[in-house]
Structure 1
């Protein structure tokens, strides 16, 4: 140690090294990001997300909703409705269920796909008019979809009382959240976004319901002795 300055005389100390041997501050580079992370962050910035995992959540949950809507789009063809709803077509092929079933499929598929664009911050910030018009378009589709879904819910999955209760509850909650979101458009945009997100999430519960139904179908089949009772079934079949 140098007794006058209290610094080491060793050349490893930056102050004792030649000026040309010490890199300037701007020459110090940070470690480069991996290509995948760079693409992800760039894409997230383009669509307007500020949080690191927002785009990931949008891809997972938004992709699930889009995939389910596209999967259900095949039943928009009346000829295929009977094929893919064979177990329920006995009732869905009759009025008033037939018309409501068709309206439910059309409005739910189209409204579900277009609802995804409402959650892209880039559209909400830079294309407000598009955001508003698309929002009204989605509302015009999803609210009637819930109403028609509640009507055919009387016969869906065999028309069991438990199934009816679930469909009616989901329809009321989803439509109620969408209406609450609409009422807060100009009052409180933060509450508006919260209610709209709740409405779409409740609307998407049917995705996990379908997955659970597929698993339950196999489980009940393997059990072999599961029975349920539906009120007025014999009378309905007699009057059909």
Structure 2
């Protein structure tokens, strides 16, 4: 009869990693790694774009010709209503929503701070829906406003809304795994609706100023 093999004791790195992973509620190390990679990149993307909330200072500043400005010709419309309202709605809602949604995927919040998870979820959904309305308002002139751009914004917007709706329906039915899966899908789609810088830094940005 063979004797049971003794499990090797965790090394220093493993013990140190568990001190970080366990308080956050992660049971498996690879889940934390995936969260760190994707959530970290998403938060970095969102924080880097908060500067776009300043239309005259950054996004539509005629003195800035780098990659941190709007695309060619966009600011001609972004500084006029109703497109100004649209871009402010989109940026002013999708950026806070993108920052807050990261907390929704932390296991420690889902398991121990259920009320915060629920209220924050409703707030994120509300901000997301308003930002999508703003995205539809500016789609006609975003990135040149071609049919391809308008079609892409329309399809992505519908995909995002459907994903969020299915996530909401599933959580009301207590189907937690499906709720989580649709939320993940939805926010990966939202990433592609989020503002991107001017891809051609050599072209100046025309404005109304």
Q: How does the TM-score come out when normalised to structure 1?
A: 0.71
1:199 to 186, 199, 203: 186
Shift of 1:205: 2.7
Alignment correspondent of 2:114:
128
Partner of 1:82 in structure 2?
60
Q: Distance in 1 between matches of 2:28 and 2:7?
A: 25
Cα distance in 1, alignment partners of residues 193 and 11 from structure 2: 39
Residue 44 of structure 2 corresponds to residue 67 of structure 1: yes
Find the partner of 1:58 among 35, 46, 52.
35
Say which structure, 1 or 2, has more relative contact order (CA 8 Å, 6+ apart). Answer: 2
Q: Distance in 2 between matches of 1:54 and 1:190?
A: 15
CA contact (8 A) 2:71 2:143 kept: no
Aligned to 2:127, the other structure's residue is in SS state: helix
2:87 and 2:7 mapped to 1: Cα distance?
Answer: 61
> Which residue of structure 2 aligns with residue 183 of structure 1?
169
Distance in structure 2 (CA, Å) of the matches to 1:45 and 1:166: 41
Structure label with greater radius of gyration = 1
Q: Secondary structure at the match of 1:154?
A: coil
Q: How does 1:203-218 map to 2 (within 5 A)?
A: 203-206=190-193, 210=196, 214=199, 217=200
Unaligned runs of 5+ in 1: 1-27, 222-240
Aligned to 1:34: 12
1:51-101: CA deviation from partner (whole Å, max 9, x where unpaired): 221111111111111111111100112322312226210111111100110
> Residue 102 of structure 1: SS of its match in structure 2?
helix
Aligned to 1:137: 123
2:157–2:193 Cα contact (<8 Å) kept: no
CA contact (8 A) 2:153 2:193 kept: no
Q: In angstroms, what is the RMSD of aligned CA positions?
A: 2.3
- Aligned residue pair count: 187
Q: 1:29 & 1:60 partners in 2: Cα distance? A: 30
Q: Any conservation in 1 of the 2:140–2:150 contact (CA below 8 Å)?
A: yes
The alignment partner of 1:94 has SS state of: coil
Looking at structure 2, the residues matched to 119 and 172 of structure 1 have their Cα atoms a distance apart, in angstroms, of 23
